[in-house]
A and B are shown apart, each in its own frame.
Chain A
Amino acid sequence: MTTVSSLDSGAVAPVSARESLFARLKKNRLSLFGGVLVLLAVFMAISAPFLPLQDPDAVDASSRLAPIGAPGHLLGTDELGRDILSRMFWGGRITLLVSIAATLIAMIAGTFLGLVSGYFLGWTDTVISRGIDVLMAFPYFLLALTVIAILGPGLLNGMLAIALVNVPFFARIIRGSTLSLREADYVLAAKGMGAGHSRILFRHILLNSLPTLVVATTINLGFMITAAAALSFLGLGVQPPTSDWGTMLASGRQYLSSAPHTSYLPGLAIFLTVLGFNLLGDGLRDALDPRMRD
């Protein structure tokens, strides 16, 4: 016989999963809209230092609570006469930074725990899974408040608190995907070549969990923005004079009747950004990993 057989070696299926991901995402109008909202928020966060914005912390007692469209202040001013437009950009920078950093921390910690517990099973899994159960038994916000009560309020501690609260989210998703992937034939094949645990965990199981992880991360970013804003709203996150959308919302709340724009502008920003991440996450989930639909 000949080793090269024409029948089998000629035709190659012309499918490319990468092309079709964007195509599938594009078909979903809602998630495209979500993507635009997310891009807008990211643009605000990145561009703040480069745009000709006023100093977000410059107090001007002569023009307190100026309405939208007031001369010199496109979106008006807050109770101390600070320019709201500028504060929206700079505040969004803090809110996004805290949420993204917290999501990354939660993702890395949760993924690691999920991989280890789903792969090794036995007592490792028991210890990790029960620990995750304990974290989940606390009401979401109470846990974050407890962490802040221990560490003290502040930008970094707030970030750690909401990261910790979200570790179970990632740990459980990745544990589930690890449980199914560890039985895959290619994992068995890797063992048969002599692959060690870390190679199997990271090159085989984690690599094949990536779609799940991307979707989970996007959806989680939405939660994180709400959580970060809520902590700041309570004065437990970022401390004055720095402010984010949450603190702006909190200070504007006292002037809800006289100057509603001081609170509904940051509120709208939070709402639209979270909506954007959720719509984008849903679209990514449908395109990448339909199994996660619940």
Chain B
Amino acid sequence: MSQPSQAPAPLLQVSDLKRYFDVKNSLLSGKSGHLRAVDGVTFNVTAGETLGLVGESGCGKSTLGRVVSRLLPATDGEILFEGRDIIDIDRKALLALRADIQSVFQDPSASLNPRMTAFNLIAEPLVIQKIGTRASRRDKVLDLLETVGLRREFADRYPHEFSGGQRQRIGIARALALDPKLLILDEPVSALDVSIQAQIINLLEDLQKRLDLTYLFISHDLSVVQHVADRVAVMYMGQIVELADNEAFYANPQHPYSIALLSALPLPDPTIARKRILLEGDLPDPANLPQGCRFQSRCAHVTDRCRVGPEPEMQEISPGHIARCHNLADIHAPIEQKQTA
């Protein structure tokens, strides 16, 4: 994908973003706390790039995507889009912002209203934003159908008459209708068959080149992210634990969590063996996080320093490569070993 040649201002700047959900711990004690779905996340997305956001389910990556696209309110922190704050804005500005940031959802059969035709689904954002006349909308929708690789004659069909991949194409066409600058792709291929996944990913890459799109690509699939992302952010328990360029991340992961995740990735070459790191231990209760590092219960490199506060801070390993761990210097990452036998 396109690499920024000069250093343009970031399209999206997120700093110390927090999103807590209130939870009631117990009916009897009446204690309540916060589930820290997103807990102090900072990152930038440069125009034209794809930032891959990976993490296991429940780590807060989808919540982060929804807060950034203003579908969920932020608890605290700052989001700048094109340098302007988008958290404290009035309704009119929010409506305009909606056109610039669009989302593609995981399950296309759930994100498309089953009682609307493909045409009405794709035209809906244009109708809501009062863009164009009836005739110009019609042209735009039919063009969009072709842009995403569907035939114009499909316009009058309902979602259930399409296959999963075709439905996701409609979802993408709908997201493109408003000519957005940033697309939040929330697991856009996870609900699809592997063969269809490749087609949708190719479509997304093609569209990015043609339409100068910027992607926040949320996924739990490290191989998909390796394929599409320019940079990769790893989330664990509401925090980014490692952020790096694609090549640097996959060749030289730093955080023990990243190392463990990558060790589980199947390699295309069967002659290469590698030591898989099995994560043991339980996930901490997200509503009742332990003192110290959030990864301590599952980390192979845990030391006493990790068990007593404060939490590790982000450290820069090389320019653009940061990780959140106390013991980065001591951790060697044995990712690939040529089989000698």
**A contact residues vs B (CB 8 Å cutoff):** 1-5, 7-9, 11-17, 184-186, 188-196, 199, 203-204, 207-208, 210
A8 — which chain B residues lie within 8 A by C-beta? Answer: 149, 163, 165-166, 169, 196, 199
Given contacts A184-B110, A204-B113, contact A11 B124 (CB under 8 A): no
Main secondary structure of the interface of A (DSSP, over half): helix
A16 — which chain B residues lie within 8 A by C-beta? Answer: 161
In the complex, what's the smallest C-beta–C-beta distance from A17 to chain B, in angstroms? 7
Return the 4 tightest CB-CB contacts between A and B, nearest first: A185-B111, A194-B98, A185-B110, A193-B125
Give the CA-CA distance A6 to B113 in the complex, in Å. 25
- Asked whether B160 lies within 8 Å of A17 as measured between CB atoms, the reply is yes
- Asked whether B113 lies within 8 Å of A207 as measured between CB atoms, the reply is yes
Given contacts A3-B149, A3-B206, A189-B174, contact A12 B161 (CB under 8 A): yes
Quick check: is B135 within 8 A (CB to CB) of the other chain? Answer: no
Quick check: is B95 within 8 A (CB to CB) of the other chain? Answer: yes
- Asked whether B94 lies within 8 Å of A12 as measured between CB atoms, the reply is no
In the complex, what's the smallest C-beta–C-beta distance from A264 to chain B, in angstroms? 46
- Asked whether B105 lies within 8 Å of A194 as measured between CB atoms, the reply is no
A185 — which chain B residues lie within 8 A by C-beta? Answer: 105-107, 110-111
* B207 to A, closest residue via Cβ: A3
In the complex, what's the smallest C-beta–C-beta distance from A193 to chain B, in angstroms? 4
**Partner pick for A188 among B105, B157, B178, B199, CB 8 A cutoff:** B105
Give the CA-CA distance A2 to B148 in the complex, in Å. 10
Give the CA-CA distance A191 to B72 in the complex, in Å. 10
Give the CA-CA distance A185 to B124 in the complex, in Å. 15
- Asked whether A194 lies within 8 Å of B128 as measured between CB atoms, the reply is yes
In the complex, what's the smallest C-beta–C-beta distance from B22 to chain A, in angstroms? 14
- Asked whether B98 lies within 8 Å of A9 as measured between CB atoms, the reply is no
Give the CA-CA distance A3 to B169 in the complex, in Å. 10
**Partner pick for B95 among A4, A194, A207, A208, CB 8 A cutoff:** A194
Size band of the interface chain B makes with A? 35 or more
- Asked whether A192 lies within 8 Å of B71 as measured between CB atoms, the reply is yes
**Partner pick for B113 among A17, A186, A196, CB 8 A cutoff:** A186
Q: How many A-B residue pairs have CB under 8 A?
A: 108
Quick check: is B258 within 8 A (CB to CB) of the other chain? Answer: no
Give the CA-CA distance A3 to B158 in the complex, in Å. 22
Q: Mark B102-131, 1 if CB is under 8 A from A, else 0.
A: 110111001111111000000011001100
Quick check: is B2 within 8 A (CB to CB) of the other chain? Answer: no
Quick check: is B84 within 8 A (CB to CB) of the other chain? Answer: no
- Asked whether A12 lies within 8 Å of B202 as measured between CB atoms, the reply is no
- Asked whether B129 lies within 8 Å of A7 as measured between CB atoms, the reply is no
Give the CA-CA distance A4 to B1 in the complex, in Å. 20
Q: Mark B149-188, 1 if CB is under 8 A from A, else 0.
A: 1110010011011110110010100100010000000000
- Asked whether B202 lies within 8 Å of A1 as measured between CB atoms, the reply is yes
- Asked whether B160 lies within 8 Å of A13 as measured between CB atoms, the reply is yes
**B contact residues vs A (CB 8 Å cutoff):** 66, 69, 71, 94-95, 98-99, 101-103, 105-107, 110-116, 124-125, 128-129, 146-151, 154, 157-158, 160-163, 165-166, 169, 171, 174, 178, 195-196, 199, 202-203, 205-206
**Partner pick for A189 among B105, B149, B151, CB 8 A cutoff:** B105
- Asked whether A191 lies within 8 Å of B71 as measured between CB atoms, the reply is yes
- Asked whether B105 lies within 8 Å of A207 as measured between CB atoms, the reply is no
- Asked whether A12 lies within 8 Å of B111 as measured between CB atoms, the reply is no
Give the CA-CA distance A231 to B58 in the complex, in Å. 58
23 A-B contacts, Cβ less than 8 Å apart? A1-B206, A2-B149, A3-B147, A3-B148, A3-B203, A5-B199, A8-B149, A12-B161, A12-B163, A12-B166, A15-B160, A16-B161, A17-B158, A186-B111, A188-B71, A188-B111, A189-B112, A190-B113, A190-B124, A193-B102, A194-B94, A195-B128, A207-B113
Given contacts A8-B166, A15-B160, contact A193 B199 (CB under 8 A): no
- Asked whether A7 lies within 8 Å of B195 as measured between CB atoms, the reply is yes
A199 — which chain B residues lie within 8 A by C-beta? Answer: 128
In the complex, what's the smallest C-beta–C-beta distance from A76 to chain B, in angstroms? 51
B114 — which chain A residues lie within 8 A by C-beta? Answer: 208
Give the CA-CA distance A184 to B205 in the complex, in Å. 28
**Additional 9 contacts, C-beta under 8 A, given A190-B124, A192-B103:** A1-B202, A4-B149, A9-B150, A12-B163, A185-B106, A189-B103, A189-B105, A189-B112, A204-B113
**Partner pick for A193 among B98, B154, B165, B169, CB 8 A cutoff:** B98
Give the CA-CA distance A5 to B113 in the complex, in Å. 25
Give the CA-CA distance A189 to B171 in the complex, in Å. 9
Give the CA-CA distance A204 to B105 in the complex, in Å. 17
Give the CA-CA distance A4 to B66 in the complex, in Å. 30
A203 — which chain B residues lie within 8 A by C-beta? Answer: 113, 116
Give the CA-CA distance A1 to B110 in the complex, in Å. 28
A12 — which chain B residues lie within 8 A by C-beta? Answer: 154, 157, 161-163, 166
In the complex, what's the smallest C-beta–C-beta distance from B298 to chain A, in angstroms? 31
- Asked whether A7 lies within 8 Å of B199 as measured between CB atoms, the reply is yes
Give the CA-CA distance A191 to B151 in the complex, in Å. 27
B113 — which chain A residues lie within 8 A by C-beta? Answer: 186, 190, 203-204, 207-208
Give the CA-CA distance A186 to B110 in the complex, in Å. 6
B171 — which chain A residues lie within 8 A by C-beta? Answer: 189
- Asked whether B161 lies within 8 Å of A189 as measured between CB atoms, the reply is no
Give the CA-CA distance A15 to B159 in the complex, in Å. 11
Residue of A11, A189, A199 ringed by the most chain B CB atoms within 10 A? A189
Give the CA-CA distance A203 to B123 in the complex, in Å. 13
Give the CA-CA distance A219 to B28 in the complex, in Å. 42
B154 — which chain A residues lie within 8 A by C-beta? Answer: 12
